[in-house]
Amino acid sequence: MRPSPVRLLNILVPVKRAVDYAVKIRVNPQQTGIDTNVKHSMNPFDEIAVEEAVRLRERLKTAVKSIQAVTIGPSKSSETLRTALAMGADSAIHVELPDSSAAPEPLAVAKTLRAIIQRKQENSEPIDLVILGKQAIDDDLGLTGQMLAGLLGWPQATFASKLDLDLDKKSALVVREIDGGGEEIQCRLPLIVTTDLRYLLCNTEPRYASLPNIMKAKKKPIEKLTAADLGVDLTPQLEMLKVAEPPKRIGGGKVDSVDGLIAKLKEAGITAV
Amino acid sequence: MLRARTAALFARPLLSRSYATPSSPHALVFLEHRNGVLDSGSLSALTAAAQLGGQVTGLIVGAPEHVQTAVEKAKSFKGLNALLHSTSPQYAEPLPEVLTPLFEKLLSGSSPFSHVISSTSSSAKSLLPRVAARLDAPAVSDVTSLEHDAASNSTTFTRPIYAGNAIATVRAPPSIPIKFFTVRGTAFNAAPEDTSANVEIKAIDPVEVADAPTEHIKTTLAKSDRPELGVAARVVSGGRALKDKDTFAATLYPLADVLGAAVGASRAAVDAGYADNSLQVGQTGKVVAPELYMALGISGAIQHLAGMKDSKLIVAINKDPDAPIFQIADVGLVADLFQVVPELIEKLKQ
């Protein structure tokens, strides 16, 4: 007889297209932002989120009904969705923004995600689990997951390094990274999870999409929506006044021996305690 | 006189703030503690709050047995005009789902607060954005400097983006009635003690959350006798070149002990299991700015530099003369660290 989980799981994974983590960024001469004419890829934390969703399905098999990726961004963001699909997501939603529009703030992103989750609810396809990266490596804000949890009134498990679902109890046991160590919490579903890099330790690195999977991903559906379709306003509330280079730090050169090193330390007033 | 001003601010209805008359800022600072011991990051948040130029009210929450200790300690720090505290067995652990309703109650209706501030700690990073969203307000993370213009009721912040490779200046305009931000601890001095301070202390009722959706099971803290990494004056940090967990410990710990330093690690060292997660320095770990940062066997990837490049004196020891760390190190030594570290320890002891 088929085991009877309360209901099959629908997982939503928001992803962001960001400047590749290995790129040395350059501030533009107008000081309005950075030169974005560089390699972009999926935000590394989001890659871990997708990987975790796919691994949940590998563990829970058919109990995971769907994994849907979603992104909010200009037309090129669809590449990021294709990557998520090639990694194992079933379908995707692209909330498309004009290429010229400013990057939406986390609160607006959270409201957009809430609108999507509410649409799914109305279509009898309720989301049980949202897995997000803990921060985007471009704005480094780290707000969206918590804001979404606040808007929905759902529990949140931030900086998660381990996630164990108990489908019978509709709950999750989560290990979180906190200052000075770790913390274990139990959360009811539906739940918002944000991933720490440490997922890599508990599992393995996010998979590379294989060529056959990349080909398959091209056939998977991407639903296109606009902010207006969802009734959300993505206009930033904060004003970006300036983006500047950080003060440049110049190395002080090398010494050729331990004695030289100790002399420099003494000069700076540093001795053994 | 301060006390009277605080009382007046508390009594003032929200409506008066919507008129064009400029109002003085009033910050609510979330003061964090562990078992009654205040977090040093919260003292930096107090300094940041004072820079707004208005009233500063602290908030301490927790289990009954710890809050009194924390309140006693907190009231002697400079810059605080008032201190609110709320205790409940439910508040023993800082679960955002349980604490958010209390913040909502404090900040809605006729709230006098114009800013909500905390350090960029893991618990505040979880809690504050949730509260901000409940109040339909944006938030600014990891602020390194700020300036408030009382006349226009706008606050301008700077904060690092792209792993510290650019500095953004953002302005929260008057249209945002409550401005939420977290403060990078290493960018602000800790508020000094000031025992003469006249702080109004007030208990507020907890907001009990029936049937909370999240339950705390346990906390595991990495134990160490060394100074805490985030606030240590000296840090000795190791990378992948340390080979394994035992070598990491055998090489770094004696040097850290001689210098009275905290131990840090690069992500490579943490991922390889040489060091505990909580020791990671970098964009995704801790941001430190000690007097001395000693990088041993660390190449200096962008993500690592994001966590330590504001250190006063950076010393690098690496076999590879082309390692990027040498471009920012004040003192570099190209050498095999397994040879020079023991020598360094011996000579420092002399």
Quickly state the pLDDT bin for B12 (edges 50, 70, 90). very low
Q: Do domains B26-203 and B234-349 have the same CATH topology?
A: yes
Distance CA A109, CA A144 (A): 7
User: What number is the average pLDDT over the span A217-238?
Assistant: 96
H helix runs in B12-95, sequence order: 40-50, 64-74
**C-alpha distance from B326 to closest chain A C-alpha (Å):** 6
**pLDDT surpasses 90 at B21:** no
**C-alpha distance from A124 to closest chain B C-alpha (Å):** 23
Please name the member of A110, A143, A179 whose beta carbon is closest to the beta carbon of B122: A179
Q: What is the CATH number of domain A9-244?
A: 3.40.50.620
Q: Structure tokens of B270?
A: 């943490």
Distance CA B269, CA B301 (A): 13
**pLDDT surpasses 70 at A1:** no
Which of the pair, B79 or B27, is modelled with greater confidence? B27
Quickly state the pLDDT bin for B348 (edges 50, 70, 90). very high
CATH homologous superfamily of B26-203 equals: HUPs (3.40.50.620)
Please name the member of A107, A182, A241 whose beta carbon is closest to the beta carbon of B170: A241
| Residue B1 pLDDT | 43
Note the CATH architecture for domain B234-349: 3-Layer(aba) Sandwich (3.40)
Q: What percent of chain A has pLDDT over 90?
A: 81
**Are residues A167 and A6 in contact, defined by beta-carbon separation less than 8 angstroms?**
yes
The CA distances from residue B255 to A254, A268, B237, B341, B344, in Å, are 20, 18, 10, 7, 8
Least reliable range by pLDDT among B31-45, B86-100, B211-225, B248-262:
B211-225
Quickly state the pLDDT bin for A6 (edges 50, 70, 90). low
Q: How many contacts, defined by CB atoms under 8 Å, are there between A and B?
A: 257
**Are residues B82 and B57 in contact, defined by beta-carbon separation less than 8 angstroms?**
yes
| Residue B8 pLDDT | 47
Quickly state the pLDDT bin for A5 (edges 50, 70, 90). very low
| Residue A7 pLDDT | 67
**DSSP string computed for A172-214:** EEEEEEETTEEEEEEEESSEEEEE-TTHHHHS-PPPPPPHHHH
Quickly state the pLDDT bin for A200 (edges 50, 70, 90). low
| Residue B276 pLDDT | 87
| Average pLDDT taken over every residue of chain A | 92
Question: B327 and A159: CB-CB below 8 Å?
Answer: no
Distance CA B83, CA B48 (A): 16
- Within 8 A of B147 by CB-CB distance, chain A residues are none
Residue of B nearest to A135 (CA): B284
- What's the whole-model pTM score? 0.90
Hey, which residues 219-258 in chain A have their CB within 8 Å of chain B?
A: 237-246, 249-258
Quickly state the pLDDT bin for B19 (edges 50, 70, 90). very low
Hey, which residues 54-113 in chain A have their CB within 8 Å of chain B?
A: 105-107, 110
**pLDDT surpasses 50 at A100:** yes
| Residue B278 pLDDT | 85
Distance CA B16, CA B267 (A): 51
**C-alpha distance from B4 to closest chain A C-alpha (Å):** 34
| Residue B20 pLDDT | 47
What residue numbers of B does the annotated binding site cover? 240, 266-267, 280-284, 297-304, 318
- Within 8 A of B163 by CB-CB distance, chain A residues are 137, 140
Which of the pair, B135 or B230, is modelled with greater confidence? B135
**pLDDT surpasses 90 at A206:** no
The answer to whether the bond into A190 is cis (omega within 30° of 0) is yes
**pLDDT surpasses 80 at B170:** yes
- Within 8 A of B331 by CB-CB distance, chain A residues are 252-255, 261, 264-265
- Per-residue model confidence as pLDDT tens digits over B102-122: 999 999 988 999 999 999 999
Quickly state the pLDDT bin for B228 (edges 50, 70, 90). confident
| Residue B312 pLDDT | 92
Question: B123 and A270: CB-CB below 8 Å?
Answer: no
How do the domains of chain A map onto residue ranges? 9-244
- Per-residue model confidence as pLDDT tens digits over B242-294: 999 999 999 999 999 999 999 999 999 998 999 988 899 998 888 899 999 99
Question: A182 and B125: CB-CB below 8 Å?
Answer: no
Question: A184 and B217: CB-CB below 8 Å?
Answer: yes
Q: What are phi and psi of B100, to 5 degrees?
A: -55, -45
Residues 6+ away with beta carbon under 8 Å from B233? B227, B260, B261, B290, B291, B292
**C-alpha distance from A223 to closest chain B C-alpha (Å):** 27
**C-alpha distance from B96 to closest chain A C-alpha (Å):** 8
| Average pLDDT taken over every residue of chain B | 91
Residue of A nearest to B233 (CA): A270
| Residue B250 pLDDT | 95
**Are residues B28 and B107 in contact, defined by beta-carbon separation less than 8 angstroms?**
yes
